[in-house]
């Protein structure tokens, strides 16, 4: 027996000794991991709810409220805060619903669908928050430009006698909003990104199992 044939037979013996993992076992393992990841998504969303509540409690004081009243944004602040809590509560419910349904499903396609739904829900939530950053920023800037005495001092007169803010003020404003949006995006990337990458990895494994069946 030559050396090559000996190596082939030795390789076959090693393969025979390896444990055989069935498709059902792989599905069960992926199902448990997906359920665990969705549970952590639920925990993270609850943590975010508590975090924003604490930040609001620490940052809102009499001086802040008076400043908001001065630029006519007191009611807007109350409304937007309530809206944010309602939206976050809705997403917490969606994560909880997906988690409970994943725990009870025994169908590969249903599990794959739930993973995609969860991924879509997170993406919608992140996009919503980024849009709100720009909307709130524009509203605050507009109100400040109209009513804030500090900004009134920055107005200049053009040749026609009309008052307007310099271009530099707008550049600083849009630059600040863009920078804050990037910070928010990185925050959600860190908060949800790792879990979502692992969850989508499970989806790709389930797709591969579906193709092999």
pTM of the complete model beyond 0.85: no
Chain-centre distance of CA 126, in angstroms?
A: 4
Region 22-27: what's the mean pLDDT?
A: 73
The pair of three-digit structure tokens given for residue 167, joined into one six-digit string: 């271009």
Q: Residue ranges of the domains in the chain?
A: 22-212
Q: What is the pLDDT of residue 135?
A: 92
Computed over every residue of the chain, the mean pLDDT equals: 82
Q: What is the pLDDT of residue 8?
A: 46
| Rounded Cα gap, residues 166 and 151, in angstroms | 11
**Helices 62-70 and 74-104: angle between axes, nearest 10 degrees:** 110
Side-chain-side CA neighbours of residue 35 (13 Å): 14
| Alpha carbons 73 and 69: distance in angstroms, whole number | 6
Beta strands in the chain (DSSP E): 156-157, 163-164
> What confidence score (pLDDT) does residue 18 get?
42
Q: Residue for token digits 């988690």?
A: 99
Which residues touch 136 (CB under 8 Å, ≥6 apart)? 80
- What are the tens digits of pLDDT across the range 144-167? 888 888 887 888 877 777 787 888
Beta strands in 45-184 (DSSP E): 156-157, 163-164
Residues 161-197 have pLDDT tens digits of: 778 788 888 899 889 999 999 998 998 888 888 889 9
Q: Is the dihedral of CA 55, 58, 62, 67 positive or negative?
A: negative
pLDDT value at position 71? Answer: 87
Which is higher by pLDDT, 9 or 176? 176
Q: Residue 8 is encoded by which pair of tokens?
A: 């082939």
79-115 b/e with 16+ CB inside 10 Å = b?
eeeeebeeebeebbebbbbbbebbeebeebeebbebb
Half-sphere exposure of 141 (CA within 13 A, CB side): 16
Residue with tokens 């937007």: 80
């Amino acid at each position: 027996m030559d050396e090559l044939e000996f190596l082939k037979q030795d390789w076959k013996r090693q393969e025979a000794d390896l444990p055989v993992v069935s498709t059902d076992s792989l599905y069960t393992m992926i199902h448990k991991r997906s359920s665990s990841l969705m549970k952590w998504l639920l925990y993270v969303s609850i943590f975010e709810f508590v975090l924003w509540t604490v930040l609001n409690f620490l940052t809102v004081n009499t001086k802040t409220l008076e400043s908001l009243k001065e630029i006519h944004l007191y009611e807007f602040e109350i409304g937007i805060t309530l809206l944010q809590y309602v939206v976050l509560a809705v997403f917490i419910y969606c994560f909880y619903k997906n988690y409970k349904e994943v725990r009870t499903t025994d169908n590969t396609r249903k599990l794959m669908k739930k993973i995609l739904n969860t991924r879509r829900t997170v993406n919608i939530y992140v996009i919503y928050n980024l849009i709100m950053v720009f909307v709130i920023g524009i509203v605050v800037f507009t109100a400040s430009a109209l009513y804030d005495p500090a900004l009134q001092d920055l107005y200049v007169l053009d040749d026609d006698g009309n008052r307007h803010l310099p271009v530099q003020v707008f550049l600083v404003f849009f630059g600040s909003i863009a920078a804050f949006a990037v910070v928010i995006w990185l925050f959600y990337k860190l908060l949800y990104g790792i879990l979502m990458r692992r969850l989508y990895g499970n989806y790709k494994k389930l797709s591969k199992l579906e193709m092999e069946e």
